[in-house]
A and B are shown apart, each in its own frame.
Chain A
Amino acid sequence: MVNVPNPLNLQWYEHPSLLLQLAALSKARDDLREHNLHEQDGMRPDPPVGDPPSGIERARTADGTYNDLGCPMMGSKDSGFGRNVPIEKTVIDRKRLLTPDPREISRRLMARDTFKPAGILNALGAAWLQFENHNWFFHGDGLADRVIEVPIAADDDFPERPMRIRETIPMRGDIVDGEPAPVFGNAETHWWDGSQVYGSGAEKQGRIRTGTDGKVRVDDNGRLPASDIPGIDLTGMQENYWFGPGLLHTLFAREHNSVCDALKKAHPELEDQRLFELGVLVVSALIAKIHTVEWTPCVLRHPALQIGMAANWYGALGEAFRDKIGRVGDSEALSGIIGSATDHHSAPFSLTEEFVSVYRMHPLIPDDWSFYSLASGEHLKDAYFTDIQGRFTRDFMHSLEMGDMWYSIGRASAGAVCLHNYPNALRNLTRVDGQITDLATLDIVRDRERGVPRYNDFREALRMPRRKRIDDITPNQQWAREINEIYNGDVDAVDLQIGMQAEQPPKGFGFSDTAFRIFILMASRRLKSDRFFTADFRPEVYTKTGYDWVNDNSMKDVLLRHYPELEPVIGDVERVFAPWHELGAAEPGKKPRILRAADTVKSYLPF
């Protein structure tokens, strides 16, 4: 991409034309790749001694090792999170861990007053993000006797005093006040490898697999089997479970088995292990593709992103060209990242603490849910989020047909990622293990605890302008007043989460430009660093059947394959992550109003 001069220091979306915006985005990503990939010593366990196990060239391993054959532990389960800001900017300030009071921030800035719908994204899109996060990262369960105690005010009705939040346990070193943060480990593999479906590690995968024809466990009714955790399905990632991820975990377990059927049909000689490996390759690539070319352009409706994300996957030449002609040389710009050369850019691959932070998008989740019959359209019941999650999940899911749940989650709008829209159910959440938590408080504490810079420092590290006053963060004056009160007018003290949720996103965006900077760097990096999306995304590794499966299928195809009864509500839908129309709402030849609205870039903007 041409390097366009930028004398006015415009942000990428402020440029006057789409081409200039694309050029600025490309430059921003190049700069981020150069300046915002950092890691510390001791990020990875020592590599195993001796010869590597057989078969690593052709398949993802259960623990994420050997994706990079030269650095086998890169991105593996239990390796450390990297950083997007320089290490010296991750200094931990224990004295201000609870300043300003995170529970007060939760109550006064974050608590949902009325539900603000995102408009452009449905609740399936919200569930999708959690489904994806469960693939990417988990800091572990912590220890019951190492907690941060958050004081609870006298007028606060939170059921426990104080609120206890388990500390994040470093994988190496200790948290030392005034020093850069130690390395925290990821209990999941860092790779985009479907580990939410299959589990990270051989032991977990062993429980998920059937041992026959490469398949994973799905019961005779097409549902996931019960696990030993009450109310939770047997699946790869079982934390923070609710019916939305439940639907998606079920869908992709079934998709895996369909892929295995197709592979066995084409290659009857293949045995369980190889069929499983191929199923993992295909399904994880398909999930990555859906995320890149369907979910992301749905939540980021800016025209530059419509092009930019397709370009990540297909390249500037577009999908039709790729399908007909194939790759053009090894150019990422022309033919996309997929199938290009692997490149880690300025640091070995790992997900980052900042990546975890910007994906704290809990306001996407509605509190109040309505369920409808897919057969008749009639209203079946309402439910509060508390009653469709955690230990209630399986009972709830078994009280409804899958088609009814899909239809209901597809119809519902996600919440807008902004202040005063944090689900109250998550602000008083009893977890499966009995811990009672306010996730909004926790979101604030986690960033502080792990040395993620506050909003202004975070922006500066990404070469975004610092905000001089709190009033510059948001055009919403009411919010600015409230933030001023909480932070005593100190703009540099504003937490990252609060800044991001107060910020006005670029036109058509479902989240802030600040979050987007991390996103555009890491979204492409997850693809570009992964051997199985780059050099080894080819029929020789995936088989022709598997390679074609990734290229030919979309989220709608996957849904209709397993739930053909959804045809009346998604048959004419282009974006399955935008709200679906009501049953029978479509007139012949005319799109329902909600689809017409969904095709625009009009999202809910509280400004």
Chain B
Amino acid sequence: MALDFKHASLVEGVRFTAQVGVPNIVQGLFRKREVVVSAVGRLPADHLAYRLVEGLEKKYGPDPFWVRVGSEEALLVTHPDDLRVVLGGSPSPFASDPDAKRKGMAAFQPTALTISRGDLWADRRAFAEAVLDTGAPTHRLAGGFAAHAVAAADGLMTLDRPITFDDVNTAFQRLTRIVVLGADAAEDTSLTDLLGDLMSAGNKMPGKPADGYEELHARLQEYVDDPDPGALTGLVAGAPQSAGTDVPGQLIHWLFAMGDTLPANLMRALAVLPTHSKVLGVARSEVAGKDLTDVETVAGSTYIAGCILEAMRLWPTTSLFGRVQVEDVRWANGQKTPAGTQVLIHNLFNHRNRARVPFADRFAPEEWVSGGAADDWRFNFFSHGPQGCPGAGLSIFLGQAFLGRLISRAEPRLAAGPRLRPERLPYALDIYGVEVRL
């Protein structure tokens, strides 16, 4: 053989396509289809996917290996050293715009940072980092954001029934609009609905902006033109930008990530805490009697941050993501992969790798506080490297304030949902089937 990685067999490729590739698509790449997600959740699809990739990795790993997805071979990367090469080498030579992702995202955010390349990527990245205060201990508007998050949590606690994902999502979409667009957008639910419709269109990977995109863009432009000093729009004017930045186009991704992904993770954290009384006790004691509108208090609640990060690790909202090589790459041991190679990263397997992650199937917030989890390139719900999520800090901060407030005021109990075994948590946790009593 010339220097090459190992190749999974044709049969294994068919299985990979069916068990890993297809479920990701039928559940909706961008907007989860509730009926399908629940149906898939009742099947052991994620478990099967994990088992399949585990077997492949044992046979062909720990180096990257080729596996067929549909008619093409893609390179599956599982080891942290190689993940560091790929994610550390994004956006070049590993661009984050594989065909499927670009075609899907084109429907609702055609100018998104994550599918940009070259100078445009650098331009948009600089803009995002400036507005989101990437790398700062806390965001400069964190005080106001925390108050809004606390208010959102308080709103949920007034409900006289167990809360569902829809409740959390609705509250969070509202919070997101306030944080990103300003107080005037608080009740602009039609904007969120419009984005949702466009994301559903994105599931079909149309490769071009869906109907309604122009309207969404125009409505966001209005918020940008009339900025709220307490929201992210208020920081736009002070951020570096050019004619190519497309500010409204950048806001879409923040609305999407904060408004859809984060509440799903928080719902899972809420679902898992009641079955982990010790963890819940530690988390509650961290915030007991504290003012969660205080920035220092929120940022200091690291154990609660660990709880949110663990929900993200155990049940990654993006179980499979990819990169595409823009040029030939020679790896550490000399293997060469050509330009155009699709590189796949299977978060579900990497996050749960039983052979390498000692706490793979446990809920272990402490690993993020005092362990090595935060430095482990296996865990990629926020990605890593130059394309690591610029809003990760802000996102976790909002989650800390929200979840901290909830558990400091109430003891969550599971009213409906799967029975969880703490020592062996399932690979899928269907948020649509969970109800939590506060």
In B1-24, which residues have CB < 8 Å from any A CB?
Answer: 1-3, 6
* In the complex, chain B residues whose CB is within 8 Å of the CB of A557: 1-3, 334
* Cβ A266 vs Cβ B330 within 8 A: no
Contact check, A561 vs B333: say whether CB atoms are below 8 A apart.
Answer: yes
Digit string of A391-425 for contact with B (CB within 8 Å is 1, else 0)? 00000000000000000000000000000000000
* Inter-chain contact B63/A265, CB cutoff 8 Å: yes
Q: Which residues of B contact A261 (CB under 8 A)?
A: 332-333
Q: How many A-B residue pairs have CB under 8 A?
A: 34
Question: Which of B6, B62, B330 meets A265, CB within 8 Å?
Answer: B62
Q: Is the interface of A mostly helix, strand, loop or mixed?
A: helix
List A contacts of B2 (CB < 8 A): 556-557, 560
Chain B 126-164 interface mask (CB, 8 Å, partner A; 1/0):
000000000000000000000000000000000000000
Q: How far is the CB of A320 from chain B (nearest CB, A)?
A: 11
Question: What B residues does A262 contact at CB under 8 A?
Answer: 63, 333
> Could you tell me if B334 and A561 are in contact, using CB atoms closer than 8 angstroms?
yes
Alpha-carbon separation in the docked complex, A557 to B243 (Å)? 48
Whether the pair B79, A265 counts as a contact (CB closer than 8 A) is: yes
CB-CB contacts below 8 Å: B33-86 with A: 61-63, 79, 81
Contact residues of B with A, CB < 8 Å? 1-3, 6, 61-63, 79, 81, 330, 332-334, 336
Q: List 8 A-B contacts (CB under 8 A).
A: A258-B332, A265-B62, A266-B61, A554-B1, A560-B334, A562-B334, A564-B330, A564-B336
A552 at the interface (CB under 8 A from B): yes
* Alpha-carbon separation in the docked complex, A564 to B335 (Å): 10
Q: Which residues of A contact B (CB under 8 A)?
A: 258, 261-262, 265-266, 548, 552-554, 556-557, 560-562, 564
Distance between Cα atoms of A265 and B57 in the complex (Å): 13
Interface of B is mostly: loop
Contacts of B334 on A, CB cut-off 8 Å?
Answer: 258, 557, 560-562, 564
Residues on A with beta carbons closer than 8 Å to the beta carbon of B333: 258, 261-262, 561
Give bound CA distance, A387 to B330, whole Å: 36
Q: Which residues of A contact B81 (CB under 8 A)?
A: 265
Nearest opposing residue in chain A for B334, CB measure: A561
A454 to B79, CA, bound (A): 60
CB distance from B3 to the nearest CB of A (A): 5
Q: Report the minimal beta-carbon distance from A569 to chain B, rounded to whole angstroms.
A: 15
Residues of A within 8 A of B6 (CB): 548, 552
Min CB distance A62 to B, Å, is 27
Task: Select from chain B the residue with minimum beta-carbon distance to A323.
Answer: B1
- B residues near A556, Cβ cutoff 8 Å: 2
User: Contacts of B62 on A, CB cut-off 8 Å?
Assistant: 265-266
Interchain nearest-CB distance for A551 vs B (Å): 9
Alpha-carbon distance between A556 and B1 when the two chains are bound, in angstroms: 9
Set of chain B residues within 8 Å of A258, measured between Cβ atoms: 332-334
Nearest B residue to A557 via CB reads B3
Q: State in angstroms the CA–CA spacing of A564 and B334 once bound together.
A: 7
Complex: A337 Cα to B9 Cα, angstroms:
28
B residues near A560, Cβ cutoff 8 Å: 2-3, 334, 336
Q: Closest CB of chain A to B378's CB: distance in Å?
A: 13
CA distance A266 to B62 in the complex (A): 6
Nearest B residue to A556 via CB reads B2
Measured in the bound complex, the distance between the Cα atoms of B315 and A175 in whole Å is 79
Query: Closest CB-CB distance, A104 to chain B, in whole Å?
Result: 51
Q: Give the shortest distance, in Å, between B379 (CB) and chain A (any CB).
A: 17
12 A-B pairs besides A258-B334, A561-B333, A564-B336 with CB distance below 8 A are A258-B332, A258-B333, A265-B63, A265-B81, A266-B61, A552-B1, A552-B6, A557-B334, A560-B2, A560-B3, A562-B334, A564-B334
